[in-house]
Structure 1
Amino acid sequence: MKPPLKQAENLLRMPGVRTVPRPVHPDGDEVFDLGYVREGAAGGVPLLVIPGGPGMASVLPYRMLRRDAGRKGFDTVMVEHRGVGLSRRRRDGTDLPMDALTVEAAADDLAAVLDDCALDRVVVWGSSYGGYLAQVFAARHGERVAGMVLDSALISAADGEEVREYVRRLLWDGATAETAGIAGKLRKLVADGAVTAEQTSRVVPVVYEFGGAPMVDRLLEAAARGRTGTWRRVTRLADRDTEASVPFVMEFDLVGAVFYRNLHPIGPDGGPLDPAVGFADKAERFPAFEGETVDLPAAQPGFTWPTAVLSGARDLRTVRPVAERTAERIPDAELVPFADSGHSFLDRFRFAGLLAAAAVANGRHHDLPAYTARAEARRGPTSAKAIAAYFSACLALDERLPRRR
């Protein structure tokens, strides 16, 4: 879906929104206009925020984040990833070609925007795929990094296989005391034919991320009674999440090339709880997997700046063992574990990310683990809470229906 030109014109009139010319291909003469936004406290701590996806826009979705960051003393810069929103089109009005969409080019775009802003060094906060891009930027432009917040960050193409094994150990094998009971119920549902193995991949991890084991237990109990209304609703939400293309908000249809070309080597294996299921039906639209072009595990020991590695215990997209290894490899890193959070603090718990960015900027990132429980306890309304409340309301309706004979 091509973004409407009128909406682009309106966004370009927003305060702080600018464009900078960038080459379509590194060695070519053709240029396009890369969009970015800068807002916040004049003279404040420079903060470069990189959303995930790939495909999340920057200008429109994160206005509240930039407002909050400005109140906390940050001078915030966010760049529309090439191939997304204000950075989608060449000057002749056509979309950027997929071969122009690489992580190296996107990382160099970030450096060009900092040049345009006259900012030498910044704290970099990258979430999910944005955490991967933040590290590619650090590997290529380390002199521009004053500190880093890696929020639910991808590290390598190998993460996909590790995530699949982790999710199955947790929710199919029941490797923890919390999940042993629900794992047994899930296996029985599949064995009885009440749900399919493929359906488990789309539903159970989503409910676990937002509601934990208790809500999964309620879901499975309802399904065992033949009350699958909530199950169907979650399936539709999960499918919409992977298919979504909303102009200037989430545009995966071009930049998905980066994901499939460099970061997604696995396909579904036919088993339960397989994260690859949601991506299999779109693979034919994009280039085949070619391999990684940046070796981040090799680069991480050279990241000498303060780094906070944020990890939610219920994150089943970038799992805790990946975060632990990241914190071990980066010399001045601190793992910051959250017990009651899932994926992407940028999108679902921005206070925690801003707290981490402030700590990194002040060299206090090693103190962060002592504050995670207090921060979660004081968390106000968030999108994560709203989704959990929606699931709970749906399950309450299911639970009022009589048990199937």
Structure 2
Amino acid sequence: MPTFTAPDGTRLALHVRGEGPPLVVLPGGPMRASAYLGDLGGLTDRRRLHLLDLRGTGDSEVPADPATYRCDRLVDDVEALRRHLGLERMDLLAHSAGGSLAMLYAARHPERVARLVLVTAIPWALGCRPTAEDRLAAARLRRGEPWFAGAFPAFEAWLRDPAEYDPVVSPFFHGRWDAAARAHDAAADEQCNDAAAEVYGSEGAYDPPATRAALARCTAPVLVLAGALDGGPRPDLARRAAEAFPDARSVVQPGAGHYPWLDDPEWFSAQVDAFLAGAAAPRE
């Protein structure tokens, strides 16, 4: 397992899987170890994935200063990874909360991004967040599921008070609540650093007007992928996030929730592969 050193001396872990042109991958959570991303629906067949464990998660060290868990401060870790890999420009994929980190990176280092893939990315960095109404509208699309009646009241309670989270709501985040989804969900507790997650989006992490202005100068092609059944973000919110980039397109994966590579790996990997096909990341 490769490691490298962040600017403040924290040792960060990198998990490398697959063969082909490099693709740097930022996990969500926020602050969830990259193990949950697996092979991203088989992308490892054609891409060499470099999956970063953010500081304090997975196999990366806990930093001396907990304030460095803040999203904007993690940008320096991503830049240190690029330098470690020796890439002048890199293809970058980010999931969920990691999408805001990728946006901040692209805003600060637009010349270092070859292509960017945002997968069910929550655009906090743009000043946008899913509303309770968004999440309820998406949840009601699942009325025909056998688990819906028992899970929906708990989902409503969670939206009123996040402290009321009940694992019974987990199916709402997956397009298919099958054995693979259950195993994926069961691993979440041991993969997440909840204390770090509290800091990730804390005061000062985001400056949406400045980020939007900077991203308007980012010429890298961007793919924004949403799940048709996902409530955070819903497809409309994902499309609005795409509008922050000069060269972006959005696509909605049918029947997918927040983890689309689990719901239909072939569809997901085909879309991402097609987008990345022309993106070669030259080396320094």
TM-score (norm 2): 0.76
Equivalent residue for 1:88? Answer: 61
CA contact under 8 A between 1:151 and 1:353: conserved in structure 2?
Answer: no
Q: Does residue 78 of structure 1 match 2:32? A: no
What does 1:2-401 correspond to in 2, within 5 Å? 17-24=1-8, 31-41=9-19, 44-58=20-34, 60-62=35-37, 64-65=38-39, 68-72=42-46, 74-89=47-62, 96-156=64-124, 158-160=127-129, 162-168=130-136, 198=157, 206-210=170-174, 245-246=189-190, 249-259=191-201, 261=202, 289-290=203-204, 292-293=206-207, 295-346=210-261, 348-363=263-278
Taking a change above 3 Å as real, the CA distance of residues 207 and 200 of structure 1, as seen in their structure-2 partners, is farther
RMSD between aligned residues: 3.7
Taking a change above 3 Å as real, the CA distance of residues 205 and 329 of structure 1, as seen in their structure-2 partners, is farther
Higher helix share: 1
1:196-225 per-residue CA deviation (whole Å, 9 max, x = no partner) reads 95268657964445469xx9xxxxxxxxxx
Equivalent residue for 2:282? Answer: none
SS of equivalent residue, structure 1 residue 131: helix
**Letter of the aligned partner of 1:292 in structure 2?**
Y
Instruction: Report the CA distance between 1:149 and its aligned residue.
Output: 0.9
SS of equivalent residue, structure 2 residue 4: strand
**Letter of the aligned partner of 1:79 in structure 2?**
L
TM-score (norm 1): 0.55
Taking a change above 3 Å as real, the CA distance of residues 315 and 114 of structure 1, as seen in their structure-2 partners, is same
Distance in 1 between residues matched to 2:245 and 2:92, nearest whole Å? 15
Distance in 2 between residues matched to 1:67 and 1:340, nearest whole Å? 15
Identity, % of aligned pairs? 25
Distance in 1 between residues matched to 2:97 and 2:172, nearest whole Å? 21
Distance in 1 between residues matched to 2:273 and 2:107, nearest whole Å? 22
Equivalenced residue count is: 263
Distance in 2 between residues matched to 1:46 and 1:211, nearest whole Å? 28
CA contact under 8 A between 1:54 and 1:255: conserved in structure 2?
Answer: yes
**Letter of the aligned partner of 1:136 in structure 2?**
L
Taking a change above 3 Å as real, the CA distance of residues 211 and 293 of structure 1, as seen in their structure-2 partners, is closer
SS of equivalent residue, structure 2 residue 124: coil
Instruction: Report the CA distance between 1:153 and its aligned residue.
Output: 0.7
Give unpaired runs (5+ residues) of structure 1.
Answer: 1-16, 25-30, 90-94, 216-233, 262-288, 365-405
CA contact under 8 A between 2:134 and 2:232: conserved in structure 1?
Answer: no
Looking at both structures, which has the greater relative contact order when contacts are Cα pairs under 8 Å and sequence separation is at least 6? Answer: 2
Instruction: Report the CA distance between 1:363 and its aligned residue.
Output: 4.7
CA contact under 8 A between 1:49 and 1:76: conserved in structure 2?
Answer: yes
1:232-271 per-residue CA deviation (whole Å, 9 max, x = no partner) reads xx9xx99x89xx541xx33223243113x1xxxxxxxxxx
Instruction: Report the CA distance between 1:293 and its aligned residue.
Output: 3.8
Distance in 2 between residues matched to 1:318 and 1:67, nearest whole Å? 20
Distance in 2 between residues matched to 1:38 and 1:50, nearest whole Å? 13
Instruction: Report the CA distance between 1:317 and its aligned residue.
Output: 1.9
